[in-house]
A and B are shown apart, each in its own frame.
Chain A
């Protein structure tokens, strides 16, 4: 259907020629009322009656103009623009209030954004590059009530008997001292099984991970 688009474009175009079109409308309605009054005169009415009768059979002139304007342009756009202009005028009139409003908005939005990005990083998407996070499960061994390292035979047992697991990898967070020349620094690191990078779907940007066994 092409017609609604054409209609929309015409109404949009009318927004930019409002003054001109408003004059046209005034002129058109005035000429209508004058012609009607003239006809009434010729029918033998008194001048005043002729004019009043013309207005009566026309129905409300202002009402007609209102309806006409609604049909001519895009009322929603027009009132929105009006509100916007009104708002800007009010802001210009009281600069102190404006500065205060802008500052509180700035801080409000800034604080919100900061908190959200923090929450997002920690709670919502902690490891953005790891795929299928919802299917990651951590297993660890216990001795009585304490967590304990898992042994190699345990791992082999789980690997053999766990039909639910797609892959099984091992990770043990630890640290190491990194020395470059005369400088030394403690680094966090993990001792992991060879399938680690394949399992979490993350690959080094440079170089390679572990070669397949």
Chain B
């Protein structure tokens, strides 16, 4: 068992959300939160509430759309889905994240 959970790194929440919606299709906020926690094997400490301003921001940027729907257990919920420009953004952010992590690893190994 890990002794401490990692805070979500500043700026990576967008990437996590976009990636989740890309692989899962439209989801409500709670679903996104669950999925991120499951995928990270609960290593990530996410205050689920912080998702909502982030979702709104992504929607304002035109990367997500939202509409009301009904959940699996018949509850009204707002579903978020990726737009085409959202998919493009995800590709860009994933690539820059990859570059960044390669670079940091390299620095850590050489010093």
Contacts and interface: CB of A to CB of B under 8 A. Distances in A.
Contacts of B48: 32, 36, 57-59
Interface stretch (B9-17, B57-65, B90-98, B99-107): B57-65
B75 A71 contact: no
Interface string B54-78: 0011001110000000010101111
B71 A35 contact: yes
Interface string A36-59: 101100000000000000000111
Residue of A24, A25, A34 with most chain B CB atoms under a 10 A cut-off: A34
B2 interface: no
B50 A35 contact: no
Contacts of A60: 49
- Grouping DSSP codes into helix (H, G, I), strand (E, B) and loop, the B interface class, with mixed when no group exceeds half, is helix
A68 B30 contact: no
B53 A67 contact: yes
Nearest to A4: B61
A70 B52 CA distance: 12
Interface of B: 28-30, 33-34, 47-50, 52-53, 56-57, 60-62, 71, 73, 75-78
Interface of A: 3, 6-7, 10-11, 24-25, 27-29, 31-32, 34-36, 38-39, 57-61, 63-64, 67-68, 70-72
